[in-house]
Amino acid sequence: MYKMNETITGYDLAELLHGESGIFEGTSPAGEKFQVVCRTENSISNIRLHSEKKGQSPLWRVRKTGELRAEQQTSN
């Protein structure tokens, strides 16, 4: 599990965030910034484009920016 403000790099966003929970800022290889929400055992549950800035790195860069609040499960 990544710590707050920890930054990692890799070629595959889904692989970088596999098994993680929280809110992340992802920068694509093209330099586009995304807000990525991951929930435990669900991988990426939401991804939003933040800007259209162009970069030149072939790697994704991901930084953890927040924790998710505990979610209550309801039984039917």
Which residue range is the domain that position 62 belongs to?
A: 7-66
| This model's pTM is above 0.85 | no
Residue at 75 is within a domain:
no
With respect to residue 46, please indicate whether it lies within any of the assigned structural domains.
Answer: yes
Digit-coded pLDDT (tens) for 65-74: 999 887 544 4
Residue range 13-41, pLDDT digits in tens:
988 998 899 999 999 988 889 999 998 77
In a domain, 72, yes or no: no
Question: Would residue 71 count as lying in a domain?
Answer: no
Cα–Cα distance, 28 to 58 (Å, whole number): 8
Does any domain span residue 60? yes
- Assess whether pLDDT exceeds 60 at residue 75: no
Side-chain-facing half-sphere of 6: CA atoms under 13 Å: 10
> What is the pLDDT at residue 51?
60
Q: What is the tally of structural domains in the chain?
A: 1
For the cut 90, the answer to whether the pLDDT of residue 55 exceeds it is no
Q: Show the beta-strand stretches assigned E in 1-76.
A: 7-10, 22-27, 33-39, 43-49, 60-66
Coil, helix or strand at residue 36:
strand
Is 2 contained in some domain? Answer: no
